[in-house]
Amino acid sequence: MNGGVREGAPVLLMDNVSFFYAGERSGAGVAGISLSLCAGELALLCGRSGCGKTTVTRLANGLAPHFYEGTVAGSVRVCGLDVARAELWETARLVGSVFQNPKSQFYNVDVRGEVAFGCENLGFDPADIERRVDDAVREFDLAPLLDASIFSLSGGQKQRVACASATATSPRLVVLDEPSSNLDFETIARLRAAIVRWKESGAAVLVAEHRIHYLDGLADQVIYLDEGRIAHRWSGEEFARLDDAERVRLGLRARSVADALRFPERSRLAPDVPSRSDDGRAGQTPRKAAKPEKPPIRFEKLTADYRKNGAFERALDVPSLELPQASVTALVGPCGAGKSTFAEAVCGLNRCEGTMEIDGERLGKRDRRRRCFMVMQNVNHQLFAESVLDEVLLGMTGDDRGQRALSILRDLDLDELAQAHPLSLSGGQRQRVAIAQALATDRPLIVYDEPTSGLDLAHMRQVAETIRGVRARDATQIVITHDPEFVLSCCTHVAMMENGRIADTFPLCEETANRLADLFLAYDRP
């Protein structure tokens, strides 16, 4: 894998690099970035949302300034190539990239074509391309999806395709921007195994990430960014010894799977009313006098079909399900289990059948669209206004809506961005804008599809606190997530999904926390 790189010479060398975006802000600029990364090394970029991590990755793969226009100073070299001056196709021979939103990097409509695309674009021999595609498909377990349409895949499956496509070209430098944001534990384990193989083969790896637990023991250097500058730099060993209190102060997520699954203090959990799982086991005893209990929200004969190879195929089959009102249910399960399909069906947004009953009122698909709100996995699909404030105001009525909208933005640390264009924000900031939209509608059922994607520790806790506050207003919430830290921060119940069906449900408390850990760790296989 050394191909033209002098022994011991850095694969990636950033020398006092600064970059400031032109026109509307499309990310946080950076200043004075110096970084040296040799073959077989991994550098972890971390820091709060909007600190400049993504900009550093864009500098490394040449997207800044070639695609994201702006002013650049200093030099960025990959295997000696000045990527700011070189054509993007020249950089692509050396650098493989995986973006936070994998859909933005796809060029084909089928999985096989997408995995092969990079190799074909670089003119590899057909027999070599076939071998590389086979190896990448096996590495990321894509064989069952090989002939599927990209558009039919879940967010996590798309991320696996993006990783496989980047792997197939055998790059000297692999650049990953929040690669785990939509992945389940099984696929995260595969991602970790791929990173190990990249390092062993001599590739350098640059990762911008909030969910850092899967990189435990892999990072050779950890770089903490604050407002576009390097504020701290540790070796992997130094970072492993970092005091937990300091880690939390810096807004960093758990450093290991064990820490991510650690049960929080009882006072941080929200359930106040007893509930009962399908197998009859009692839930948590109430800690304080509960409000008069309302009947649960009931779903009956909830199904959804998707077209595949010219015929409709059943993707969701939930004969019946009950959720306590004012509960926060974590919907967990492997990528492709049907979680997003379930969420869309609940909100009446896909080809679905079945009903929802709330407070004795039976709601079909059309009625559910008016009574439910969904924060999508790709929030870019639901951002329409010219400013953050206008996005929130879209769903509000009343003379005091301006004041209420600003209050919601303040709760989510977005008030200073009220006049910014939503698409000029970082991924984590956009995620919080979409959550603010949901809160502004004041609807009785809110569904979140991966709401902590791109969020640092402080903002993850902020969103968790906001969800607990929404629950206090008697709204029922469903959270699709692969994030155990978040589940333990605000959820009251867990529903496990497999193959389009609800396989298990249970209330979340200290007595059932081990069941939650087992659900996540069951998929923690390399």
pLDDT surpasses 90 at 156:
no
CA distance 5 to 523: 38
Cis peptide, bond prior to residue 286, ω within 30 of zero: no
pLDDT at 54 (0 to 100): 93
Q: Give me the chain's average pLDDT, please.
A: 87
pLDDT surpasses 70 at 187:
yes
In the chain, what are the domains? 11-94+172-255 (3.40.50.300), 96-170 (no CATH), 265-388+444-524 (3.40.50.300)
3-state DSSP helix/strand/coil percent for the chain, to nearest 5? 35, 25, 40
pTM here is 0.81
pLDDT at 283 (0 to 100): 35
pLDDT surpasses 60 at 274:
no
> Which of 477, 238, 455 is closest to 346 using CA atoms?
477
User: 167: left (phi > 0), else alpha (psi -120 to 50), else beta?
Assistant: alpha
pLDDT at 266 (0 to 100): 39
Question: What is the CB-side half-sphere exposure of residue 472 using CA atoms within 13 A?
Answer: 9
Within 10 A of 392 (CB to CB), how many other CB atoms are there? 28
Task: Report CA torsion sign: 278, 486, 338, 377.
Answer: positive
For 101, the token pair is 């939103």
Within 10 A of 130 (CB to CB), how many other CB atoms are there? 13
- Write the CB contacts of 378 (distance below 8 Å, at least 6 apart in sequence): 101, 103, 155
For tokens 């000297």, the residue is 172
Burial 468-497 (b: 16+ CB within 10 A, else e): bebbeeebbbbbbbbbbbbbbbbbbbbbbb
CA distance 268 to 278: 25
Segment holding 239, helix H or strand E:
helix 236-240
Instruction: Name the range with the highest mean pLDDT among 221-225, 240-244, 407-411.
Output: 221-225
Over range 86-108, report the average pLDDT: 89
pLDDT at 423 (0 to 100): 87
Long-range CB pairs of 377-381 (<8 Å, 24+ gap) are 377/155, 377/182, 377/340, 377/449, 377/450, 377/453, 377/480, 378/101, 378/103, 378/155, 379/430, 379/431, 379/433, 379/434, 380/101, 380/423, 380/430
Over range 395-411, report the average pLDDT: 90
CB-based contact 336:153 (threshold 8 Å):
yes
- For the stretch 373-393, pLDDT in tens is 999 888 888 999 999 999 999
CB-based contact 515:509 (threshold 8 Å):
no
pLDDT at 286 (0 to 100): 34
Residues comprising the chain, all counted? 526
Over range 431-450, report the average pLDDT: 90
Segment holding 156, helix H or strand E:
helix 155-168
